[in-house]
Structure 1
Amino acid sequence: MAGKFDAIVIGTGQAGPSMAGRLTDAGMTVAVVERHLIGGTCVNTGCKPTKTLVASAYAAHHARRSADYGVITGPIGIDMARVHARSQKISVDSRNGNETWLRSMKGCTLIRGHARFESAKTVRVGDELLEAERIFINVGGRALVPDMPGVGEVPFFTNSSLLDTDLLPDHLVVVGGSYIGLEFAQIYARFGSRVTVVEKGPRLIGREDAEISDAVRSILEAEGIQIRTGAECIRFARHPDGVAVGLDCSEGVPETIGSHLLLAVGRRPNTDDLGLEMAGIETDKRGYIQVNDRLETNVPGIWALGDCNGRGAFTHTAYNDFEIVAQNLLDGANRKVTDRIACYALYVDPPLGRVGMTETEARATGSRILVGRRPMRRVGRAVEKDEQLGFMKIVVDADTDAILGAAILGTSGDEAIHTVLDIMAAGGNAATLRHTMHIHPTVSELVPTIAGELRPVS
């Protein structure tokens, strides 16, 4: 069976359904191809289920310290079956909503199966050969399984497979001390598991400034999570009690025994079985599809959006990819990926909200910089909530007053950071922020304050 369409969208992650919606609204016929679960990573194995677990873990944590607030409760227990069921329901509801939306689009045909290119204009899905002048690749990514000694000889979880179970490990060893690994580590520690985080590098979340890495480590260790950094030669072996993880750390015992193992060492794009070579589409050595500032591949009429293009690994970057491509194609705009300001969050508790450059990155530019800092224990809203861990900081160019970046590690940090992001996006500077009145009592109200307390750094 053959079909000719105005456009083909491969993958239904954050960018795919929205792209189909804009195209069909413009009167085009669109084939949307999905080989697995509609909604992609965010809906099925990312934001939706993990942040649901974060919320359950947060509830458990605060229930245990309810006496601090003068609230007396009984013993706190964790019903993992209900925790898991809640997480799955939220994912399923979102997935079903996406599918209903796609099937309701006039001019949209949803096709289930694995898409493979046969040329720059044709894609095969099983027995169907689809043809279109415009093709949008939105296939996302998956957990990377590292080539470490013994990894093929032991049972392990990835973020996806761990979300499929209502298991509560006795001792969860998390290999990978970055964003995904740390979120899961704190979740399961709050559910009652003993947790060890193993990181090859010298500190956690190595892309952050050292003071943020150190603060996150202190927060997690205070909750009983054991952190092992500098694990230069990680190896695995079966053990009667689960899995033996060899560390070769600069300090501490050379091996830890976990009942279960989670590998959280990165992601890889789902591009290795798309037949990209048949269309002449270029990738880098890791498999990411090469795109220009307009998210166009080297082949005219083919775009790559979301995690598979290597230009962002977040739901919000994928959606922004859609906005850039759709507005350039349909509205005559000239939007570019390089115009957007980097921003993201780490959803440990308290969360880390980040925008723009780190202090380390700003120093590397050679510019004179000013930094404003304030610990959360001096933020009234944090004190009132008795959630005083962390700090906020802002980095400013000393000569131009331009805001280079900011970080808020603290309660509501993932929300309050948008105060800085929006000023930066609107072309404002630190003076704009200093002169803006914010609502009291909030975390955000202290952002103008630290913008007025800038100091040079040595």
Structure 2
Amino acid sequence: MRHFDLLIIGAGSGNSVIGPEHDDWDIAIAEHGLFGGTCLNVGCIPSKMFVYAAEVAELAADSERLGVHTSFDGADWPAIRDRIFGRIDPIAAGGLDYRMGLPNVTVYTGTARFTGPRTVAVGDETITADKVVVAAGAHPAIPAIEGLESCGYHTSDTIMRLDALPERLVVLGGGYIAAELGSVVGAFGSQVTFVLRGDTFLRREDNEIRERFTTAYSRRFDVRMNTPVLAVRRDGPEVVLVVQGDQGERTELRADELLVATGRIPNGDRLDVAAGGIDTDSVGYVVTDDQLRTTAEGVWALGDVTNPVQLKHVANHEARVVRHNLSHPDDPARVDHRFIPHAVFGYPQVASVGLTERECRERSLPYRSHVQPFSSAAYGWAMEDTESAVKVIAHAETRRLLGAHIIGPQASTLIQQLIQGMHFDLTVDQMARHQYYIHPALPEVVEQ
């Protein structure tokens, strides 16, 4: 049984916990999948590289309204895929080679399972450590639908590596993963059908934003809302979904491929964390305090395995906190989860930070909100944009920002100035009047 100073389970953001201050530590890394984790290999980075190419296709197909004569003549899916993963795969391989080449780091390629306090089994080996960091991520949630497991389906882990673009794709789900990946495939020429259990996309977004987004997607795609999937089967090369219609009748949807994008589940259960004395909540997330310590002595956790806000920038922040706390137990850092922004890279984009109106009402906060369309700004005129908007929510008494929500082009960029405003505790008046806004540029929508 080999003993280490530090064991890290997961080589995504967990990999960044190691710094020069740990050069004299004996460190083990256990990773069951691709080095670099979800974001690099099957998540935010490759998906956004696909999104950018899809946006180019969308703009080419929609430029006639600006008087520009272009058209979309199809996409070379294998070329796009190979260009993207031709950049990503060497980074993952290089990261693994780098860590394996360090004299003080041992890499275990396999699933680590706790067998006792700070003790794990990886393959045929059992290892122990003085300190353990659990950064094992999450995996796709698969609904219990008759025939689904045997019919063959894709998740976000596999859909981006398809050999060929399907003529028809059915997407189960209406969250950000479904919206982004379904939009990409649709932009490249596939017929995409979304099947939603509820009556809206992006149900956690502010009502104004999700209604606009749902309207936009309902125009672009075949969207089946309030549609339970009763069974799935294969009929030759086709996947067949048996769904329940509005009147309770059974109908069939046929496609070439099926994408299941119905959420993600933390990997704590796969690690048998309970055997290590590590508590999880009712959903399965590893319980941590504000220093990211778990309920087990000498064990920290970060990222998707512990935080329901499964975002890379959150995991990176948490990795910095854990890295500090490993070396400075008498001067611990604490996580700051007050103003976590997020973006949905659909078409249109959505970005948000802070509270929604619904959350303000639930907390009985006095607030005022305002929706400003892109069309009110000169750059919005240039874009001929009549659908995009910025929504700002402020405290009615202090006039400080409580939340901001954007739908439209560059939303993920425009939101940053509002994130800063919240972080530095600015009022909406200070945001609008105590700085210059370039004219005519899109941020003027925020100023207005």
Select which of 399, 402, 421 maps to 2:400.
Answer: 402
Q: Secondary structure at the match of 2:198?
A: coil
Q: What is the aligned partner in structure 1 of residue 440 from structure 2?
A: 441
CA contact (8 A) 2:376 2:445 kept: no
TM-score (norm 1): 0.90
The aligned runs of 1:132-171 (5 Å cut-off) are 132-171=129-168
388 and 17 in structure 1: CA distance in 2 versus 1, 3 angstrom threshold: farther
330 and 386 in structure 1: CA distance in 2 versus 1, 3 angstrom threshold: farther
Q: Secondary structure at the match of 1:147?
A: coil
Q: Which amino acid aligns with 2:306?
A: N
Q: Which amino acid aligns with 1:258?
A: A
Q: What is the aligned partner in structure 2 of residue 371 from structure 1?
A: 369
Q: What is the aligned partner in structure 1 of residue 343 from structure 2?
A: 345
Q: CA deviation at 1:209?
A: 2.4
The aligned runs of 1:152-301 (5 Å cut-off) are 152-223=149-220, 225-232=221-228, 234-239=230-235, 242-250=238-246, 254-301=251-298
Q: CA deviation at 1:350?
A: 2.4
1:217-264, Cα deviation, whole Å (9 max, x unpaired): 2222333x1111112454323345622323324379843222221111
CA contact (8 A) 1:63 1:76 kept: no
11 and 201 in structure 1: CA distance in 2 versus 1, 3 angstrom threshold: same
Q: CA deviation at 1:67?
A: 4.3
Q: CA deviation at 1:69?
A: 4.7
1:408-437, Cα deviation, whole Å (9 max, x unpaired): 111111011011111111222223212232
5+ residue gaps, structure 2? none
The aligned runs of 1:40-79 (5 Å cut-off) are 40-73=37-70, 76-79=73-76
CA contact (8 A) 1:204 1:213 kept: yes
Q: What is the aligned partner in structure 2 of residue 453 from structure 1?
A: none
161 and 213 in structure 1: CA distance in 2 versus 1, 3 angstrom threshold: same
1:137-160, Cα deviation, whole Å (9 max, x unpaired): 111111111112332342211111
Q: CA deviation at 1:121?
A: 2.5
Is 2:5 aligned against 1:9? no
Q: Within 1, Cα distance between the matches of 2:226 and 2:98?
A: 48
Q: CA deviation at 1:65?
A: 3.2
Q: What is the aligned partner in structure 2 of residue 113 from structure 1?
A: 110
CA contact (8 A) 1:119 1:278 kept: yes
5+ residue gaps, structure 1? 450-458
Select which of 356, 360, 377 maps to 1:358.
Answer: 356
CA contact (8 A) 2:140 2:261 kept: yes
Q: Within 2, Cα distance between the matches of 1:401 and 1:108?
A: 51
138 and 182 in structure 1: CA distance in 2 versus 1, 3 angstrom threshold: same
Moved more, 343-352 or 433-442: 433-442
Q: Which amino acid aligns with 2:410?
A: S
Q: CA deviation at 1:393?
A: 0.4
Q: Secondary structure at the match of 1:132?
A: strand
Q: Secondary structure at the match of 2:8?
A: strand
155 and 124 in structure 1: CA distance in 2 versus 1, 3 angstrom threshold: closer
23 and 109 in structure 1: CA distance in 2 versus 1, 3 angstrom threshold: farther
Q: Which amino acid aligns with 1:368?
A: P
Q: Which amino acid aligns with 1:390?
A: S
Q: What is the aligned partner in structure 2 of residue 429 from structure 1?
A: 427
Q: Within 1, Cα distance between the matches of 2:215 and 2:309?
A: 28
141 and 339 in structure 1: CA distance in 2 versus 1, 3 angstrom threshold: closer
TM-score (norm 2): 0.92
Q: Which amino acid aligns with 1:221?
A: S
CA contact (8 A) 2:60 2:72 kept: no
387 and 43 in structure 1: CA distance in 2 versus 1, 3 angstrom threshold: farther
Q: Which amino acid aligns with 1:197?
A: F
